[in-house]
Amino acid sequence: MSIKTEDLFEYIPPHLRRLFESCEYPWQIVARISEYINEMLRNGIVGYSLYSDGVLVGKGASISPRAHIFPPAIIGEECEIRVGAYIRGNVILGRGAVVGNSTELKNCILLDGAQAPHYNYVGDSLLGVRAHLGAGAICSNLRSDGREVIVRADTDYPTGMRKLGAILGDNAEIGCGCVLNPGTIVGKNSRIYPLTSVRGIVPPDCIMKSPNEIVRIEI
């Protein structure tokens, strides 16, 4: 199963490489976002400027005056933060990431070109390069019983985390209205049909048509 950090993400921005390279599994990255983002705020990032207390912004970013950004946050170069976006803190956005209308982000990383453009919730999650959430897709981050989130792959991986959303590899495409249940991992280049409830692991280069039907993408 492709669940290790190196299996899911190919390009990591220079200021995030130490974080990603130090974590064998991607949920370990999510657990360290708060610590790492505060370190970056103390040290600064070349080419970034202070937008408000606890918020660094890269060149060319577009931020609607009707978006709400609470610190700490790192907004990457050429990001687009649209009307009604709600960024709740401990959020890192890569170059060209999009956060759209009525989208809420909390304790998450969106790598370069990742998009959560319409009515999305992304909590305690990690979206790879050019990963895309269709309208209304949700990264659910809390089990109904409130217990520790377990990543269920070839074996069970206890995460030690009560809150963990979804991990999307590079170029993952999530259809409109999907629910990604806590601890879901979607491999690189895979696609999820709309209105699907996703649990566990979706291998790379696949299409999930339903929870019981996953097929390889034919090239």
**What are the residue numbers of the active site?**
118
Amino acid at 216: R
Cα 150 to Cα 153: distance, rounded to the nearest angstrom:
9
Q: What share of the chain is helix, strand, coil (3-state, %, to 5)?
A: 15, 35, 50
Cβ atoms of 167 and 208 within 8 Å: the answer is: no
Residues whose CB is less than 8 angstroms from the CB of residue 141 and which lie 6 or more positions away in sequence, other chains included? 123, 124, 125, 149, 163, 164, 165, 182
CB atoms under 10 Å from CB of 62, counted, come to 12
Residue among 66, 47, 65 nearest 57 (CA) = 47
Residue among 148, 169, 166, 165 nearest 157 (CA) = 148
Going by the DSSP 8-state scheme, the letter that residue 147 receives in this structure is -
Cα 98 to Cα 43: distance, rounded to the nearest angstrom:
25
Cα 188 to Cα 19: distance, rounded to the nearest angstrom:
20
